[in-house]
Amino acid sequence: MSGGNGFNPHLMFRGAPERVISLVPSVTESLIELGASGSLVGVTNYCPMPEAGQEIIRVGGTRNPDVDRILGLKPDLVIANQEENSREAVAAMEEAGLNIWLTFPQTVEQALDILWAMARLFHVEAVAAPKLLWLERSLEWAGRALENSVSSRVFVPIWRGEHPRAGQWWMTFNKNTYCHSVLEVCGGANIFAGRLRRYPLDADLGLTEAEAHGDRDLRYPRVLPDEIRKLAPEIILLPDEPFPWDPDSVEEIKELLRDTPAIEHNRIHIIDGRWITWHGIHLAKALAELPAVLQPLPAGGDT
């Protein structure tokens, strides 16, 4: 059995599930923080681990988990994510008869709903509720702080590539993503909120007409320097994952976007990528750190 954000896995169990595999690092972190890690028997190579003393098996990467190893652990529930885990791996586990909770939060509010669902599923409300209520309160405070302010225009590249004719391009995200939602609640206005991915790549880069997209993902467009310059970002954030920004790639983007307000005022920042990509309890870190980074320029334009 599987489902998205509206799925209620606690309806499947009379008690808390006893053998759980998490294929989502942010979910694993949340289970640990909410006091539910005692049910974990398997996690990915990229997941945090609870304190020593508990036997938990690494089952491979998020995109290519070892399905045979997972089956051998005989889990009563596997928690996966529609975006982070491959469709093939999830389908193989479902075909083998495993219960899959397929999460896919696209907003901060949906991520909070999943956290509350976890607390109920694992019967850890006593431990989890104070933390989740504090998280909700922090989100409310962040919203109040933004009521009379103007959000900074932000560009967030999450990958880069090279096209033989168009040159350097960057992948970013639009409003239908969790990343966008985190930026918004922390005071950032995503300059590509309304930009849809076009297919093929040449069409996305404006070199040819777009073809019918079918059911392909439209949330992660590829953009060129000219398109970015026209939208005049005031802040550029470089998440340290999934793309590993090194000094050369940072200097490259500074040079190509040198006439944007962000570069003119030296407002380009490498940030912890988990702030915007790890849905779940890691939202607390984003709410604590990102608003200060996203503050508008003071009057006069000096940082």
Q: How far apart are CA 278 and CA 286, in angstroms?
A: 10
Backbone angles phi, psi at 23, to 5 degrees: -105, 15
Q: Give the chain's domains with CATH numbers.
A: 9-128 (3.40.50.1980), 152-293 (3.40.50.1980)
Report whether 172 contacts 154 (CB < 8 A): no
Exposed, middle or buried, 283 (CB in 10 Å: 0-12/13-18/19+)? buried
Q: How far apart are CA 126 and CA 120, in angstroms?
A: 10
Report whether pLDDT(180) > 60. Answer: yes
What is the pTM assigned to this prediction? 0.92
Report whether 195 contacts 221 (CB < 8 A): yes
Backbone angles phi, psi at 188, to 5 degrees: -110, 140
Average pLDDT on 225-229 reads 97
Report whether 239 contacts 250 (CB < 8 A): no
One-letter amino acid for residue 210 of the chain? A
pLDDT in tens, 233-271: 999 999 999 999 999 999 999 999 999 999 999 999 999
Rounded to the nearest 10 degrees, the angle between the axes of helix 125-145 and helix 178-185 is: 60
Report whether 236 contacts 254 (CB < 8 A): no
Average pLDDT on 216-225 reads 97
